[in-house]
Amino acid sequence: MIPTTKPLVIITGASSGIGAATARAFAASGYPLLLLARRLSDMQAMNLPNAICRKVDVLDRDALKSAVAEAEAEYGPAEILINNAGIMLNGDPTKQSPEEWDRMIDVNLKGVMNGIHAVLPAMVARESGTIVNIGSIAGRKTFDAHSVYCGTKFGVHAITETIREEVSQKNVRLITLAPGMVATELVSHSTDDAAKTGWLAYAESIGGALLPEDIAEAILYACQAPQRVCIREIVICPTRQQP
């Protein structure tokens, strides 16, 4: 353990993509970390200082709370939560399986709420804390073959803003980070080849998607603002992305 005076940061979905890039950004700035994902070896392979890595599914409330308690015993109260875990299963709504709808609703909505539930009461009690929920441009406008995914991300935006209003007088910040096209493995989750091919073709047509590191820097910026400053929403897309 390297001595640090900075507070604990929790990141879900930390094994790849935006979560892993955000972990590296906060580690480079000296924050201790609790990294949570289903792929433990990928988190451990980053070999970040002051990082506790735990194999936790965000739908497992007990495991999530247990990991938070363990990390707080080591590094003190969790001051920042990055609710990043998510899944995108694009598809034709007349053909997509209800099981895929369930997976997106569970992870993208219930997973976010489970993360909030694990840290928000303590943040409100001590009147300090920041929660960043990863939404999407698909939580601000609709896209073909994204019907249920859009629904979950519209939900993330609504949940974040509603709770922000409810806890703002307790000096707790909630931030929605809404990325456009980002080059992560998220698109590979889709089982609809046409939807997947269309996403990749459009990304290529605009000169490429954003990098996970672009999103990580925006998250770090918002979190490092003084506690009196709440950057309520950041929408970040490739310059050439039109919608």
Nearest by Cα to 166 from 133, 123, 221:
123
Q: Which residues pair with 178 in a beta bridge?
A: 235
Catalytic residue of the set 31, 75, 149, 202: 149
CA distances from 238 to 42, 203, 208, 212, 241 (A): 27, 9, 8, 12, 5
Q: Taking the mean position of all CA atoms in its chain, how far away is CA 190?
A: 19
Amino acid identity at 217: E
Nearest by Cα to 175 from 32, 73, 62, 22:
22
Told to judge if 31 belongs to the known catalytic residues of this protein, a careful annotator would answer no
3-state secondary structure 66-106: HHHHHHHHHHCCEEEEEECCCCCCCCCCCCCCHHHHHHHHH
Phi, psi of 88 (to 5 degrees): -125, 110
Nearest by Cα to 13 from 71, 77, 70, 82:
82
Q: Give the C-alpha separation, 143 to 82, whole Å.
A: 25
Query: Per residue in 128-166, is it b (16+ CB within 10 Å) or e — as a string?
Result: bbbbbbbbbbbbbeebebbbbbbbbbbbbbebbeebbee
Q: Copy the structure tokens of residue 204.
A: 């290529």
Catalytic residue ranges: 149
